[in-house]
Amino acid sequence: GQQLNQSPQSMFIQEGEDVSMNCTSSSIFNTWLWYKQDPGEGPVLLIALYKAGELTSNGRLTAQFGITRKDSFLNISASIPSDVGIYFCAGQLDGNKLVFGAGTILRVKS
């Protein structure tokens, strides 16, 4: 079946640092989405990408839809403590079915 490989699995950040994560797939997707999930809550949509090569920003977040339609990355600039959480990429193909990556856990360096 379709699988998304999301990396890194986890990372530690210091306030002010830039963060980067990515997803790759063996399948082509029509849409890539990035979500953030806080403990005990559902995923919150951060960015949606619809076209190969598209680069979209949402505040300090920037994401790109890969040219091959098989990959996407998410960058967070100048991280702040509330950026901590789990970030998921998701590819969308048939109807509204989403295939999710395993997630990237963002933690704060103490």
Partner 1 sequence: KAGVTQTPRYLIKTRGQQVTLSCSPISGHRSVSWYQQTPGQGLQFLFEYFSETQRNKGNFPGRFSGRQFSNSRSEMNVSTLELGDSALYLCASSPQYSGTAKQFFGPGTRLTVL
Nearer to partner 1, 35 or 73 (CB): 35
Question: Closer to partner 1 at the Cβ: 77 or 92?
Answer: 92
Asked if residue 92 binds partner 1 (CB under 8 A), the reply is yes
Pairing of the two strands 10-13 and 104-108: parallel
Question: How far is 49 from 84, CA to CA, in rounded Å?
Answer: 23
Build a one-symbol-per-residue string for 30-69: x at contacts with partner 1 by CB under 8 A, - elsewhere. Answer: xx-x-x----xxxxxx--x-x-------------------
Q: Which is nearer to partner 1, 102 or 108 (CB)?
A: 102
- Residue 3 contacts residue 89 (beta carbons within 8 Å): no
Cα 84 to Cα 74: distance, rounded to the nearest angstrom: 14
What is the C-alpha to C-alpha distance for residues 62 and 51, in angstroms, rounded to an integer?
15
Judged by the rule CB under 8 A, the positions of this chain that interact with partner 1 are 1, 30-31, 33, 35, 40-45, 48, 50, 88, 90, 92-103
